[in-house]
Amino acid sequence: MRPNKRDELVSKALEVFYHGGFHATGMDTLVKETGISKTSIYKHFRTKNDLIIAVLRLRDENFRSWLFNRMEALSDTPAGQLLAMFTALGEWFGKPEFAGCMFIKASAEFQDRAHPVYQQSTEHKQMLLKHFTGLAKAAGASDASGLARQLLTLKEGAIVLAAMSVTPDPAEDARHTARMLLKPHLAEGLTAAG
């Protein structure tokens, strides 16, 4: 089934914004890079910010689906999945198209906490945190919410360092630290995670 024009626009705009930034990418650039006219763009979105929100929603859906499915494919235990997150991140960092986290970029460009773009970026991180908290609870962590927050912090730091090429293997560094964080919280389940 062929995607409709709106979906096609959002998908193409995601790539353009991901690599070019939000403020730096003007409407003329969007027209040139997506092949979709301004008239068509404005037919579907009143403003550029409305398009950015739609792009972030698609990115959130795609990223969470990929990450959670990959974690499940790498381990069949909740503790193992939490650790496997860093293996999955390492795979992502190694892809030629990797250019950091779109939500970190968006929140840096739209720093007003009341701005819808900032709020959409925050919502993405909150949904990740909720999932990690659920896995930590299922794994028997004594402080599931605290552990989930620590793992999210590691994940976000690894993404930033990978995007900036600061260290040779930030995913593996984060995985090593995550293993140390998981040990005191969990009675079992790490053996399946490696």
Provide the CATH number for the domain around residue 70.
1.10.357.10
Residue 80 near residue 72, CB atoms below 8 Å: no
Report whether pLDDT(17) > 70.
yes
Q: Is residue 6 part of a domain?
A: no
CB neighbours of 51 closer than 8 A, spacing ≥ 6? 9, 10, 13, 30, 41, 44, 45
**pTM as predicted:** 0.92
pLDDT confidence of residue 184: 76
Q: Is residue 161 part of a domain?
A: yes
- Total tally of structural domains belonging to the chain: 1
Report whether pLDDT(187) > 70.
no
Q: Is residue 177 part of a domain?
A: yes
Report whether pLDDT(193) > 50.
no
Q: Is residue 42 part of a domain?
A: no
Q: Is residue 39 part of a domain?
A: no
Which residues span the domain enclosing 148?
A: 56-193
The 10s digit of each residue's pLDDT in 57-109 is 999 999 999 999 999 999 999 999 999 999 999 999 999 999 999 999 999 99
Report whether pLDDT(43) > 70.
yes
